[in-house]
Amino acid sequence: MTGLSLATQFTSVSGGSDDRATVLTAFMVFIVLSLLLCVLAGPEGETASDFYTGSQSLTPMQNALALTGDYISAATLMGVSGLVAVAGYDGVSLAVSSCLAVGVFLVLAGPLRNAGRYTLGDAFALRSPGSSSRVAAATATLAVCLPFLVLQLAGAGSATALLLGLTSQGAQQVCTVFVGSVMICYTVLGGMRGTSLVQIVKVVVVITTMLLLAFLVLRRHDFDPGALLTAAEQGSGLGDRYVEPGHALGDSAVGRLDFLSLQLSVVLGGACMPHVLMRINSAADGAAARRATRYAVAIMAVFCLCVVIAGLGAADVVGGQKIRAVDSSGQTALVLLAGNLEGGTSGLLGRVLYTAVACSVFVTVLAVVAGIALSAAAALAHDLHAHAVRRGRMSGYREVRSARWAVAAVGGLGVFLAAMAQGRNIQSLTHLALTLAASTVLPACLYGLFWSRYNRTGLLWTVYGGVLCTTALYVCSLSFSGTPASLLPGRHFHVIGLQSTAVLAIPVGFLLGWAGTVVGRRARGAEEAEADVRWRERVLVGARQQ
């Protein structure tokens, strides 16, 4: 979600300065309490296990809530509900795709926990020991996390400025720096355990708010889903076509292919984002990881159901024409619904509902940043510094200190880029991040976990080839240039008529992994033979024991 579209949402409802003051107060209370929570629940010691995994002290249910928090981003909360409101069938199918991403991760959770230790590099190094695999893991992690980090920080900064009554680009940049600094403090002070508890609080707030919204929407139609759907069809302005596909990206063959590509990126890319993979290492073992993921699937299903109901309610209560007038993508739908439901912000319940939705948006944007920053910093400190540079000869205390400095470095870079991006449409960075994850991290994990012949050459081809290919496809696509929603809207040098290139990039990533393995098969040495033994002991034997 761009800063511009997020800001638009809070000017599109009828609430005035009193409403903004109420939301800002609640927001600041959350920041203070969450910082206190991070300090109290931070690492108990100065070991790498304390900082990266919270000493694996979270229960499966706590891990499930934190994992769900990683999956609930602003794009899921606002974008999907808005797409349901303005595009009907396409929005519902994207909500299902968001839930399926957690289901795909269920396949990977147990083996990844058995194979990994702290980071993605630990899982890669199990099959391909050496510094090259660590560098490749760090490259993939940073390539995926940095665009997503910039996107979230830019949206949070502009929305915070709006609550203060400031609309200039300079004010948005200052607020971006403030929000980014808070997130750096979260991560430095709390480590994995602290950021996990912040995610848990976020999930409780968001799920409670969405359940309340869904209840109020259904109550308007005597809890009859059929009546709600009929009202949504009439309010959307699409009539009977509301339940037909093709409204999001067009009904042509190219439009349908583009939407399929978007769904692939959500399902496959969302299943293997580096901060999600790192989160599962905080489980006690592979069995606990699978149990936590099963709980997360159930929680995510409830959330997605509420998102769909809220989207239908927005089409009914607000109307598709009004939603599109404010934002053609429909991302204003949830806030507009809160501002018009139960008498609007003039009534007590309406004011509470609007405040709850606004805070949910902010909490969603802010909490996910800490997890992203932690995974990127861990890649720098653990994979690059401790192993690629120091060859594993670094004490736990020094590695944690390095990780904290890495958090500051990654966070500082993200804040700088987000501040510079204010006023630009950077929504397409979501396509880039998800496609990079699906075309590099996913094939590397699947091949590394389940293909006994996979080797170092295959890993390097997968990661570096996948990153280069995906980036080149992104630059040649409509996401980068050619449309008002592109990263460079004034330029027209695209050669691919798709916004999401996942349908092209993902097969290339898998093909490169296979080709690299075939080419490098004869170069396998004693080190990789020993790695195969460790892989069979930890992954295959661990899977049988579960």
Tokens of 86: 């303005």
Q: How far apart are CA 473 and CA 498, in angstroms?
A: 10
Between 103 and 158, the more confident residue is 103
Other beta carbons within 10 Å of 172: 25
Q: How far apart are CA 538 and CA 396, in angstroms?
A: 23
**Could you tell me the pTM of the whole model?**
0.89
Question: What CA dihedral angle connects 187, 188, 194 and 198, to 10 degrees?
Answer: -30
pLDDT in tens, 279-318: 888 888 888 999 999 999 999 999 999 999 999 999 999 9
Q: How far apart are CA 351 and CA 348, in angstroms?
A: 5
In the chain, the percentage of residues whose pLDDT exceeds 90 is: 38
pLDDT in tens, 482-507: 888 888 888 888 889 899 999 999 99
Domains in the chain and their CATH numbers? Answer: 3-545 (1.20.1730.10)
Find the range with the poorest average confidence among 184-198, 392-406, 416-430, 531-545: 531-545
For the residues 178-186, what does the mean pLDDT come to? Answer: 83
For the residues 173-194, what does the mean pLDDT come to? Answer: 84
Q: Average per-residue pLDDT in the chain?
A: 84
Between 425 and 479, the more confident residue is 479
Predicted local distance difference test score (pLDDT) of residue 45 = 59
Predicted local distance difference test score (pLDDT) of residue 1 = 45
**Rounded to the nearest 5°, which phi and psi values hold at 501?**
-100, 20
Q: In the predicted model, is pLDDT for residue 41 greater than 80?
A: no
Predicted local distance difference test score (pLDDT) of residue 461 = 96
pLDDT in tens, 110-144: 888 888 778 888 888 887 888 899 999 999 999 99
Predicted local distance difference test score (pLDDT) of residue 29 = 76
DSSP for 367-422 reads HHHHHHHHHHHHIIIIIIIIIIITTT---HHHHHHHHHHHHHHHHHHHHHHHHHTT
For the residues 217-234, what does the mean pLDDT come to? Answer: 92
Q: In the predicted model, is pLDDT for residue 527 greater than 70?
A: no
Question: What CA dihedral angle connects 258, 263, 268 and 270, to 10 degrees?
Answer: 120
For the residues 191-213, what does the mean pLDDT come to? Answer: 88
pLDDT in tens, 378-387: 999 999 988 8
Reported confidence tier of residue 439, pLDDT bands at 50, 70, 90: very high
pLDDT in tens, 345-386: 556 677 788 778 877 877 787 778 888 988 999 999 999 988
Instruction: Say how many residues make up the chain.
Output: 546
